[in-house]
């Protein structure tokens, strides 16, 4: 079943289904969303028991805010009114895999259950090794959603430890599966080089003994990281997505303007690095994205770039002539 909604009440009714519901938060201005709608239509033919829903993100801001939709396309997976998984971005193979996995998760066959467990183990191993130091927590480092996770982040930050994180609230399968995989029943869980270090109590003991600094990798200073990124190319654009695939309307507009000048530039996807996303706002004293830099200096956001183009000043600035 493939549905298109612009009504919150109809969506809530749909989510009450006991079967799998896949919701695509999309925008008509984003070509990648149109491509993923075609993928969804094909999947709907293959999986008749699954309900696929198109929901225009900007038409239902309260729903988008509730589910923290910051870019399109984003896919949420629901079972029995509960969110069980999420996929950000136009990744057709990954969407297909997730649909197949969740659609078959209620399979009765013991053999298929064993295969699903193997697939989950492979996925967990990849997540654990996604960074030299991985923290599985409730929420994000910027917005922890439990006191233990908050304390863990504070300790790691205090010691200047470089780490990536995974929000276990975003994926119930990972949340439950990792407990068995690691034989550790609670969160947060800290891993270094793919090996479990432990939870908050263990990390506190390592801190007290002075071993934490030797166990975990150190981070470079955020300010140094931001300076290096800003100066990575003469013209640097910090945006949602990249020059091939913008993930918000403002980013799409600014790359169209810059492309029209013919000037070479590099981009950085702020959705890929939460530390950079939040830190650059403070560093530049500019609260929104996109942000355009020329030779390490902030030019501004979309409105500034539009004004410069209208005044005929944009091209000289991009060429470093002003």
Angle in degrees, CA 167, 28, 280, rounded to 5 = 45
Whole-angstrom CA distances from 209 to 24, 146, 219 are: 49, 25, 20
Under the banding of pLDDT at 50, 70 and 90, the label for residue 111 is: very low
What is the pLDDT, as a whole number, of residue 171?
A: 83
What is the pLDDT, as a whole number, of residue 117?
A: 56
Query: Does the structure show a pLDDT above 60 at 5?
Result: no
Whole-angstrom CA distances from 252 to 183, 237, 302 are: 45, 12, 10
Query: Does the structure show a pLDDT above 80 at 30?
Result: yes
Residue scoring higher pLDDT (110 or 87): 87
What is the pLDDT, as a whole number, of residue 219?
A: 56
What is the pLDDT, as a whole number, of residue 109?
A: 40
Segment (H or E) for 148? helix 147-158
Share of the chain above pLDDT 90, in %: 44
Residue scoring higher pLDDT (104 or 122): 122
Residue pair 96/64 in contact (Cβ under 8 Å)? The answer is no
User: For the whole model, what pTM was predicted?
Assistant: 0.46
Q: Which of 27, 19, 23 is nearest to 10 (CA)?
A: 23
What is the pLDDT, as a whole number, of residue 292?
A: 97
pLDDT in tens, 157-215: 888 888 888 989 888 889 999 999 999 999 999 999 899 999 999 999 999 999 998 88
DSSP letter assigned to residue 295:
T
Task: For residues 225-230, give the mean pLDDT.
Answer: 91
């Amino acid at each position: 079943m493939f549905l298109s909604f612009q009504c919150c009440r109809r969506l809530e009714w749909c989510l009450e289904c006991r079967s799998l519901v896949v919701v695509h938060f999309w925008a008509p201005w984003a070509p990648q969303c149109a491509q993923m709608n075609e993928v969804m239509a094909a999947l709907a033919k293959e999986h008749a028991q699954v309900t696929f829903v198109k929901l225009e993100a900007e038409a239902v801001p309260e729903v988008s805010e509730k589910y923290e939709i910051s870019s399109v396309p984003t896919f949420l997976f629901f079972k029995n009114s509960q969110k069980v998984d999420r996929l950000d971005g136009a990744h057709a193979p990954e969407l297909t895999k997730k649909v197949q996995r969740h659609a078959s998760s209620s399979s009765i066959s013991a053999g298929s259950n064993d295969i699903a467990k193997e697939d989950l183990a492979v996925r967990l191993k990849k997540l654990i090794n996604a960074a030299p130091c991985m923290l599985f927590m409730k929420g994000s480092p910027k917005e922890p959603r439990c006191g233990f996770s908050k304390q863990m982040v504070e300790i790691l930050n205090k010691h200047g430890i470089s780490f990536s994180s995974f929000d276990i609230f975003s994926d119930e399968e990972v949340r439950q599966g990792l407990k068995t995989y690691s034989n550790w029943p609670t969160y947060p869980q800290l891993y270094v080089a793919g090996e479990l270090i432990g939870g908050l109590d263990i990390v506190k003991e390592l801190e007290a003994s002075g071993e934490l600094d030797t166990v975990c990798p150190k981070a470079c200073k955020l300010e140094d990281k931001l300076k290096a990124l800003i100066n990575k190319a003469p013209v640097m654009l910090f945006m949602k997505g990249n020059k091939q695939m913008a993930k918000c309307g403002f980013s799409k507009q600014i790359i169209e303007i810059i492309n029209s000048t013919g000037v070479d530039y590099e981009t950085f996807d702020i959705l890929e690095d939460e530390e950079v996303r939040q830190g650059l706002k403070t560093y530049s004293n500019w609260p929104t994205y996109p942000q355009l830099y020329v030779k390490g200096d902030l030019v501004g956001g979309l409105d500034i770039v539009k004004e410069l183009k209208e005044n005929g000043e944009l091209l000289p600035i991009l060429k470093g002539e002003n």
